[in-house]
Chain A
Amino acid sequence: MINRLNEFNFIPIPADEKALETARQFVLEQAERLNLPAPIIFKIELALEEILVNVVHYAYPPGTTGVVDVGCLTDEAGISLCIADSGRPFNPLEKEKPDLDIELEERQIGGLGIFLTREMVDAIEYRREQDRNIITFTIRKP
């Protein structure tokens, strides 16, 4: 999907706590034309939140507000989203999988977000390009 980025519709959003709601409205509008069933919408929302919240929290130094670009491409196969920032290099896909077996007390809650994302999407890629972190993922129509 990364090589089709020119076909995506993008909007720039300030990477703050309101970003999620703005991005969500934008993506849901784009998704509307696909007439997707509720479980797929749920997957889209969850993957979007997990990736976006990561960017809002970690991409830019505290006290500064950068911009996150949210892109969307719908076609007969399904929906693809792109989330791009110009913050510090960070590939969430390299995060280790959380160990779901270990005892709760020792369990690190970190990594659950990306774990859930992987469960929701059919494909996901990360690329660092021109000082930007670019994540694209695809959720197919059933």
Chain B
Amino acid sequence: MEIRIQKKDDLLSILLEGRFDAFGANQLDAVLKEALEDGVVRAVLFIMDGVSYLSSAGLRILLSTYKQMQKRGGVMVLSGVQVYCREVIEMTGFAGTFPMVDSPEEAEAVLRQPSAPEKPKPVGEEKCSVETGDYCFVSGSEDSCAAEILGDIRDILHSRVTTERIYSKRFFDKEYSIGMGGLGAGLEDYINLLGEMITIGGTMVWLPTDGHDTADFLIPKTDQGDVMIRTGFNVSIKGGVNEYVYFKSATAGGTPVGALYRELFSFAKKRRPDFRGALGLVIRAQLGAVYGSGIKKSAVTQNAPANGKMILHESNRGEWFDGDTAPRHTRVTGLIVGIGADLTADLSDYDEEDFNRVFYMHPANISGKEEMLHNHAVIFNEQPLPQHPTRLEEEIHRVIEQGTFLDMRHLLDSSTITEALIGIHYLQAFRSDPEGVPLDQGKAEPMPEIKKSQMRYYQG
């Protein structure tokens, strides 16, 4: 790696070019030791436009420089970080710590900030007690989160999914998504079985509409072939969790999911200028009562209701949905992916067409509602819940490893939550999921076949 340094007053500018690998890190370490020795430097600027590669050894040097500057009340800024290097920084969680700018000129603005150096954002913790319960908020990533959509909920609600309206999407183990879909190599394997589906914590669960009302719980082994999800409608939450919440209900039996969303909307309106009206949630919950609903038939054209009304219409509902009137489960643990829109909020920041692909704003669909929610939950026997909000992702994995899988359901809003770790994504946009391909296009290359033997496979 080529290293050029320039010292001016208390500013040390370092121009790097080449590979910031273990070898480059060693070179830089020696240069930095000498340059920082006299204790004058209060600002370090790394100009990295020419750096094509960064490894953990490079990160280690950046971190130790950052810490030294912190101790002196100084700053460190990275300028012109290229795409792969940026990914490494983001992947390892340093993106929120190291200020990154596009050019040295821009860096000056950060560097000139008098004596109050850019500190790592303290993990802000805010506790609120309201009628529904206690909430402890901890700030998370500053990602601009989005809901990415394949297909269209309206095709489901009108039961008009056709083979042209099925999409294939590679299973991605860090994905949080919900939708209506199936698994299988050939169209005949799933087209008539499309059911509720969720991906969370490296697993995928679906409830095939095969009449058995039994969910399949699948952990694809990532080292064996690719697993393709076939879907007529799917929403993925993209971006890191913006805010973590620990929630404890004020009611022994728990707070209904609908009321919990309303409370989170109300907090968001007061606390978050970036709230646009819709939230994507990932929840590791203790559920007091689970009221589920499952679609009974595949929402394909040949099943479309004869009366031309939506499948949710009261004349069709009974034939299409199993809705629980008594709790299906009590005192269980749930992993939930949900997306909710506050219908009392101004939703005009969102692309109308894409928004409608998730929340069909048709009068017959929204009448009298204050919010529209889609929540799918994977249900396990009750597992202990630590009260640490930022443990969310880790906890999800622990439940999957240690819990006994019971069920998967579309949650009715009346289901109750007694205690939960919640990851909130303040959705900035609704847009098409670029990862999915229409099935007929996908045919150009043969789809890898999915075999049950490629997965850890459970049945409830």
- Say yes or no for B456: interface residue by CB 8 A criterion: no
- Say yes or no for B312: interface residue by CB 8 A criterion: no
For chain A residues 80-106, which have a beta carbon within 8 Å of chain B? 98, 100-101, 103-105
How many angstroms between the C-alpha atoms of A108 and B123 in the bound complex?
Answer: 18
- Say yes or no for A39: interface residue by CB 8 A criterion: yes
- Say yes or no for A115: interface residue by CB 8 A criterion: yes
Q: Considering the complex, give the chain B residue whose CB is closest to the CB of A24.
A: B21
How many angstroms between the C-alpha atoms of A98 and B391 in the bound complex?
Answer: 13
Known A112-B59, A116-B56: A46·B93 in contact at CB below 8 Å? no
**Contact yes or no, B222 A116, CB < 8 A:** no
Tell me which of B60, B88, B120, B390 contacts A46 (CB under 8 A): B88
- Across-interface contacts of A98 in B (CB, < 8 A): 92
How many angstroms between the C-alpha atoms of A42 and B19 in the bound complex?
Answer: 11
Tell me which of A50, A101, A123, A138 contacts B93 (CB under 8 A): A101
How many angstroms between the C-alpha atoms of A79 and B390 in the bound complex?
Answer: 36
Counting contact residues on chain B (CB < 8 A from A), the size range is 20 to 34
A131 vs chain B, min Cβ distance (A): 26
- Say yes or no for B458: interface residue by CB 8 A criterion: no
- B23, B123, B390 interface centre (most CB from chain A within 10 Å): B23
Q: Considering the complex, give the chain B residue whose CB is closest to the CB of A42.
A: B84
Q: Considering the complex, give the chain B residue whose CB is closest to the CB of A138.
A: B223
For chain A residues 2-39, which have a beta carbon within 8 Å of chain B? 17, 20-21, 38-39
- Say yes or no for A69: interface residue by CB 8 A criterion: no
- Say yes or no for B91: interface residue by CB 8 A criterion: yes
B182 vs chain A, min Cβ distance (A): 25
**Contact yes or no, A116 B223, CB < 8 A:** no
**Contact yes or no, A21 B23, CB < 8 A:** yes
- Across-interface contacts of B22 in A (CB, < 8 A): 20, 49, 53
Q: Considering the complex, give the chain B residue whose CB is closest to the CB of A45.
A: B53
A103 vs chain B, min Cβ distance (A): 7
How many angstroms between the C-alpha atoms of A9 and B149 in the bound complex?
Answer: 44
Tell me which of A17, A21, A116 contacts B55 (CB under 8 A): A116
How many angstroms between the C-alpha atoms of A123 and B222 in the bound complex?
Answer: 7
**Contact yes or no, A122 B223, CB < 8 A:** yes
How many angstroms between the C-alpha atoms of A42 and B20 in the bound complex?
Answer: 12
B442 vs chain A, min Cβ distance (A): 15
**Contact yes or no, A42 B222, CB < 8 A:** no
- Across-interface contacts of A100 in B (CB, < 8 A): 92-93
How many angstroms between the C-alpha atoms of A45 and B223 in the bound complex?
Answer: 20
Residue contacts A-B, CB under 8 angstroms, 23 given = A20-B21, A20-B22, A38-B84, A42-B84, A45-B53, A46-B55, A49-B21, A49-B55, A100-B92, A101-B93, A103-B120, A103-B123, A105-B67, A109-B59, A109-B63, A112-B60, A113-B55, A116-B56, A116-B91, A116-B92, A123-B222, A123-B223, A138-B223
Q: Which B residues lie at the A interface, using CB under 8 A?
A: 21-23, 26, 53, 55-57, 59-60, 63, 66-67, 84, 88, 91-93, 97, 120, 123, 222-223, 390-391
**Complex A-B, nearest 6 residue pairs according to Cβ-Cβ distance, in ascending order:** A123-B223, A100-B93, A113-B56, A112-B56, A101-B390, A42-B84
